[in-house]
Amino acid sequence: AVVYRKIPDEYPLPGEHLVVESKELDENLNENELITRNLYFSLDPYLRNRMKPSKGFKADYTSRYEIGKTIDNYSVGEVIASKNPKYPVGAVVVGFLGLEEYTRVPANQSLKIIEGARESKLPLSYHVGALGMPGITAYGSLLDIGQPKAGETIYVSAASGAVGQLVGQIAKRLGLRVIGSAGSDEKVEFLLKDLKFDAAFNHKKGSILESLRAAAPEGIDIYYENVGGEALDAALEVLKHHGRIIVSGMITSYNSNAPYGYKNLINIVSKRLKIEGFISDDFSAETQTKFENDVSSWLLNRVIVFKEDVTVGLENAPEAFLGLYQGKNFGKAVVKIADL
Ligand code: NDP
């Protein structure tokens, strides 16, 4: 199991803040409890926020990890013992499970059964990626908040990541001109060649403002915000009047308390910009159903692609988690714990 041992000041370090340990599994189940054998665990940037001291933390929308406990998150697992009639042995489920080989799931916890999991043509790991939390994040926020229209231009930061690659491809389908930024030339090539973005640049080379201006000489209508800092300041400068900013996250701030010296915030006023943040479970049941139908059929028909970065083995998970904040993941970061 990967156990949370210490609150990080900056980066979450393997062996210090997250430690791989052996634990005993108590197999004596009470009524409605069950045990899963865990297959895939999702590594998401927001998990760093679950390692912050709770008091006074400005983004308190998520519970904190407890020191000494296994960390948990969206996962796929197989039920191997059950005293809960809703989840029979053999069911493949998606929900909150531990980053560990086996999880004893409490009686009151809900999971979702993945119907047809054993015959599925799509990888099971997609249930914590394109078909899971990052998927609804991209789909729901772009459509509901962004109100995108054909012919408009959108800029997506962290564009080769879990959320960004979906936002960009959905925007292309809707007839937008799509610009992406990512942290390596290889990622930029992926955006242009595989995802068919109209323009893309490496945010680590030169100034983001200059690269964005060159990619969008007439300005952008929508900025899809994943990173904050220099990218947001550049977008504020290049956005057109009445432009929109969809704020998904600001990963540049997750491991640092140092304030960023924004220069262009006043443009929100002068350009009459709209900025809206959200959390992935904000969207209506109707949007959720449309998302599941649309994204699964687009993936099955290869209308869109979804790149994953799969780390094999629990013992490698802490390093892969740290890698999220160093741009080491290329695609949706997932830990593979076992095969079905
Ligand atoms: P990604 O798969 O995009 O992985 C994170 C990427 O962020 C890295 O690969 C890296 O890409 C980039 N990055 C990391 N550190 C920095 C940095 N200091 N400066 C610039 N870029 C950096 O993650 P997700 O797609 O899962 O998440 C993207 C964003 O969406 C995050 O901010 C996350 O918190 C947010 N989010 C919000 C949700 C919500 O409910 N509001 C739900 C899900 C995600 P590169 O190499 O290209 O720089």
- pLDDT tens-place string over residues 223-255: 999 999 999 999 999 999 999 999 999 999 999
> Looking at the predicted structure, is the pLDDT value of residue 62 above 90?
no
Strand intervals (E) in the chain = 2-4, 18-20, 34-42, 72-82, 92-98, 102-105, 112-113, 153-156, 177-182, 199-202, 220-225, 239-247, 274-277, 308-312, 332-336
Residue 180 bridge partners (DSSP):
156, 200
What is the whole-number distance in angstroms between the Cα of residue 44 and the centre of ligand 1? 8
Whole-number pLDDT of residue 142: 98
The one-character DSSP state at 143 is I
> Looking at the predicted structure, is the pLDDT value of residue 289 above 60?
yes
Ligand 1 proximity of 152 Cβ (cutoff 6 Å)? no
Q: How confident is the model at residue 6 (pLDDT cuts 50, 70, 90)?
A: very high
For the chain, first and last CA: distance in Å? 19
Ligand 1 atom 10, closest CA: 327
What is the whole-number distance in angstroms between the Cα of residue 160 and the centre of ligand 1? 9
Domains and CATH numbers, the chain: 2-129+307-336 (3.90.180.10), 133-281 (3.40.50.720)
Ligand 1 proximity of 251 Cβ (cutoff 6 Å)? yes
Whether the CB-CB separation of 93 and 25 falls below 8 Å is answered with no
Ligand 1 atom 1, closest CA: 161
> Looking at the predicted structure, is the pLDDT value of residue 49 above 60?
yes
pTM over 0.90: yes
Which atom of ligand 1 lies at the shortest distance from residue 184's CA?
Answer: 46
Q: Which of 151, 154, 21, 39 shows the shortest CA–CA distance to 92?
A: 39
Whole-number pLDDT of residue 63: 85
> Looking at the predicted structure, is the pLDDT value of residue 61 above 90?
no
Ligand 1 atom 3, closest CA: 161
Q: Averaged over 151-179, what is the pLDDT?
A: 98
Ligand 1 atom 47, closest CA: 182
Q: Averaged over 119-135, what is the pLDDT?
A: 98
Whole-number pLDDT of residue 59: 55
